[in-house]
Amino acid sequence: MALNLGDVVPDFTADSTEGKISFHEYLGNGWGVLFSHPKNFTPVCTTELGAVAKLKPEFDRRGVKVIGLSVDQLSNHGQWVDDIRDATGSTLNFPLIADHDKNVANLYGMIHPNASDTTTVRSVFIIGPDKKLKLTLTYPASTGRNFDEILRVIDSLQLTAKFSVATPVDWKHGDDVIIVPSVSDEAAKEKFPGGWKTVKPYLRVVAQPKVDETV
């Protein structure tokens, strides 16, 4: 199954290290990140899960629930969690789904036959409070993900969901943003009374709105 941006992500029920998970219920009314692993006891995945455990306070601060998935048996998860702690110094502090039957992997299109017809690629799904897919990233099994980049993307998604702005190349929280083209200059004067810099008629740069502002 191919998931497109804007689709409501499929709901599912699965076993995890924190008990049975009903995915939509787990997400509640907030943001979520689902990321997959080919199987337990893989070296790159071990480093990734340790990194996400360390970064979990940053996800919490943004109101984002993280959940991992491995195409392996729940009975193996406990030993892997111990290995993750030993290897990275971080204790797993979010659920890790056991998807040994590949139900979720197939539901979310995590298996790419031209890469491997048996194991999942490293998929990342960022999901909004409306349960719709906001971003997907796909890495080959050999390449570890950059979760600082995923946090940066979440900052952009949350900002642009609230304000009439877009974020430019290499943007980070606090940097200037772009007024979206659908906002006319007249409307922009009301939304951004402090003014903006016009680089091109379609490229208007403005200071990032503060969280407590409404524009």
Q: Is 83 a catalytic residue?
A: no
Of 34, 45, 96, 159, the catalytic one is 45
Interval 86-101: pLDDT, tens: 999 999 999 999 998 8
109 in the same domain as 52: yes
Number of domains in the chain: 2
Question: 14 pLDDT exceeds 50?
Answer: yes
Question: 196 pLDDT exceeds 60?
Answer: yes
140 in the same domain as 172: no
DSSP state at residue 71: S
23 in the same domain as 103: yes
Interval 15-29: pLDDT, tens: 999 999 999 999 999
174: left (phi over 0), alpha (psi -120 to 50) or beta: left
CATH code, domain with 180: 3.30.1020.10
What single-letter amino acid sits at 84? I
Question: 74 pLDDT exceeds 60?
Answer: yes
Maximum pairwise Cα distance, the chain: 61
pLDDT number for residue 32: 98
Residue 46: strand, helix, or coil? helix
41 in the same domain as 115: yes
Residue 207: strand, helix, or coil? coil
Q: Indicate whether 138 belongs to any domain.
A: yes
C-beta separation of 165 from 176 below 8 A: no
Q: Can you give the residue range of the structural domain that contains 60? A: 13-146
Interval 126-146: pLDDT, tens: 999 999 999 999 888 788 999
pLDDT number for residue 181: 96
Pair type for strands 13-14 and 21-22: antiparallel
Of all residues in the chain, the percent with pLDDT exceeding 90 is 74
101 in the same domain as 201: no
Q: Indicate whether 152 belongs to any domain.
A: no
Question: 209 pLDDT exceeds 90?
Answer: yes
pLDDT number for residue 18: 94
Task: Give Cα separations from 8 to 71, 87, 93, 112, 158 (angstroms).
Answer: 23, 36, 26, 21, 17
Residue 206: strand, helix, or coil? strand
